[in-house]
Structure 1
Amino acid sequence: MQTSCVAPDKKDLGRALCIVTGASKGFGRTIAKEISLLLKPRSVLVLAARSCEKLQELKADLDSSGAGREGLVTCCVVADLATNEGVGSVISAAKEFSIKDMDNLILINNAASLGDVSRYTQSFTNMAEVDSYLSFNVSSALSLTASLLQAFPQQQGLRRCIVNVSSLCALKPFPSWVLYCTGKAAREMMFRVLAEEEPDIRVLSYSPGPMDTDMQIVARDTTADLTVKKSFVSLLNQGQLITCEASCAKLLKVLLEDSYLSGAHLDFYEL
């Protein structure tokens, strides 16, 4: 296991440039709000998503919340990460800020979509449909991560951390979820390779568990496989869905302790 870069009793993430994709709602929005409380003054929080309105609402919440966020610079980037232009706009926004004297560069690859779960694998004969899904869910994460690491190469005193918001679906097949499972599995291996290639970079795949989000509603309503569908309905009926806040708290605890093996997959239920 790699040596920890942050003391076990660390209470904040120091001064950082932090980028959160898919920040406008759900887990991404919660990450943005909670991680902002752990950033020292003169830190920069870059929030990327497709919805301008929801990003501005989040920025207003952060700006008005007061304690714990003094001196935080918040930058909103409206971007479609399935395109080169979208990825480029996030990198351009990040490069507007100097990382001199910063402690951390953090990228939270949260943006993702469920895909069409109302059909089974043999129905996906349209390559353009599959390519479109993979472009947003896989290619964009690789391109954004690679571009950021090139823009901000290794330097003395700077800890670079890449977080992949993963899923149990990266490890286990869910019938009628072929797009989602494929995308999550591809991202998982992508970041494991990065960890092997770049030992100075801290890489984490975090599975947040079944959270009470809009994606859960779509899963319950449209999943074709009845066994999978019933499992999600059961989680709701038994009150077992996880709040975004509870899952985010575990992720941030892991980042603060910084004792995980780089490239590891950590699950909410294992922490």
Structure 2
Amino acid sequence: MSSAEGRDLGRALCIITGASRGFGRSVAKEISRLLKPGSVLVLVARSGDDLRALQAELAESEAGVAVECVVADLGRMEGVDSAVRTCKEAFSEHIEHIILVNNAASLGDVSRYVKSFTNMAEVDSYLSFNVSSSLCLTANILQTFPQRPGLRRTVINITSLCALQPFSSWVLYCTGKAAREMMFKVLAEEEPDIRVLSYSPGPLDTDMQMEARSKTADPTIKKSLSNMFTQGQLLTCEESCAKLMKLLLENNFISGAHIDVYDV
């Protein structure tokens, strides 16, 4: 598709994880404007109140786009099952595009270094929410909505510079992001009909960034994060989200690619 063709994303079933706040919330608001009437947004997060507030906001502004909420912990299989079940129920034969945005993630404990992570249950819990859930949700969605004529499928992984570079005292976050990035590279190799993108939204002014600059153990990284905040170098979620929408509309990226906000 050329950029001239990409004025919207079609009549889509769009699933967004971690949709209740931060970047996920911005994605939900921006992507809803690019969907044709008859589309369905499935918003997944652990915070029911925040999800329902977003649902009400979207219902007022986007006529013709249905919004479903799934209050679920994706770190547990029941959460994944609940999201998939809602997608099945929301699907209609008029849907021409399946869009899955794997955004849900947590920072992990950045107040400690590698040698302190001796508790396997703690590590497993982190990886379950940040890695296993993305793989299992993606696999379930792809099985539920297999390739067929007239159906586009797009899978987006919200990634980070931490998928590519080590950050001292960020072992869980870096490991999770690196694992997810490779997961989606493999998907792109296996399924050439699926459009796969790992998008790095950059340093965002979010609750996660606030947690990072207050709790990071490594003094150099902590100072760098604090400086970005005090010097106004953080991006708004809306600024970064606009770049992601541009990528999706133009649809010229190499499937499986890692694309940074500053490269768009």
TM-score, reference length from structure 1: 0.96
How many pairs does the alignment contain? 263
> Are 2:2 and 1:7 aligned?
yes
For residue 258 of structure 2, the aligned residue among 245, 265, 268 is 265
Pairing of 1:178-217 with structure 2 (within 5 A): 178-217=171-210
Amino acid at match of 1:13: L
Partner residue in 1 for 2:236: 243
Alpha-carbon distance in structure 1 between the residues aligned to 2:169 and 2:196: 30
- Unaligned ranges ≥5, structure 2: none
Is the Cα contact below 8 Å between 2:135 and 2:183 reproduced in 1?
Answer: yes
Partner residue in 2 for 1:3: none
Deviations 1:113-164 (A, max 9, x none): 0000000000000000000000000000000000000000001011100000
CA RMSD of aligned residues (A): 0.7
Amino acid at match of 1:97: A
Alpha-carbon distance in structure 1 between the residues aligned to 2:254 and 2:146: 21
1:243 is displaced (CA, Å) by 0.3
Amino acid at match of 2:43: L
Amino acid at match of 2:122: E
SS at match of 1:96: helix
Deviations 1:197-229 (A, max 9, x none): 000000000000000000010001000000100
Pairing of 1:131-170 with structure 2 (within 5 A): 131-170=124-163
Pairing of 1:109-128 with structure 2 (within 5 A): 109-128=102-121
Deviations 1:160-202 (A, max 9, x none): 0000000000000000000000000000000000000000000
Is the Cα contact below 8 Å between 2:48 and 2:71 reproduced in 1?
Answer: yes
Is the Cα contact below 8 Å between 2:37 and 2:64 reproduced in 1?
Answer: yes
Partner residue in 2 for 1:84: 77
Partner residue in 1 for 2:97: 104
> Are 2:211 and 1:218 aligned?
yes
Alpha-carbon distance in structure 2 between the residues aligned to 1:202 and 1:121: 35
> Are 2:227 and 1:227 aligned?
no
Amino acid at match of 1:23: A
Alpha-carbon distance in structure 2 between the residues aligned to 1:77 and 1:186: 25
1:103 is displaced (CA, Å) by 2.2
> Are 2:14 and 1:18 aligned?
yes
Partner residue in 1 for 2:39: 43
1:98 is displaced (CA, Å) by 2.8
SS at match of 1:24: coil
Amino acid at match of 1:111: A
Alpha-carbon distance in structure 2 between the residues aligned to 1:180 and 1:153: 31
Deviations 1:35-70 (A, max 9, x none): 0000000000000000110000000111122xxx21
1:8 is displaced (CA, Å) by 1.0
1:270 is displaced (CA, Å) by 1.1
Partner residue in 1 for 2:49: 53
1:16 is displaced (CA, Å) by 0.3
Alpha-carbon distance in structure 2 between the residues aligned to 1:102 and 1:94: 12
1:249 is displaced (CA, Å) by 0.2
Alpha-carbon distance in structure 1 between the residues aligned to 2:239 and 2:78: 34
Deviations 1:6-39 (A, max 9, x none): 3312111110000000000000000001100000
Alpha-carbon distance in structure 1 between the residues aligned to 2:27 and 2:160: 16
Alpha-carbon distance in structure 1 between the residues aligned to 2:130 and 2:15: 17
TM-score, reference length from structure 2: 0.98
1:102 is displaced (CA, Å) by 2.1
Alpha-carbon distance in structure 2 between the residues aligned to 1:89 and 1:133: 20
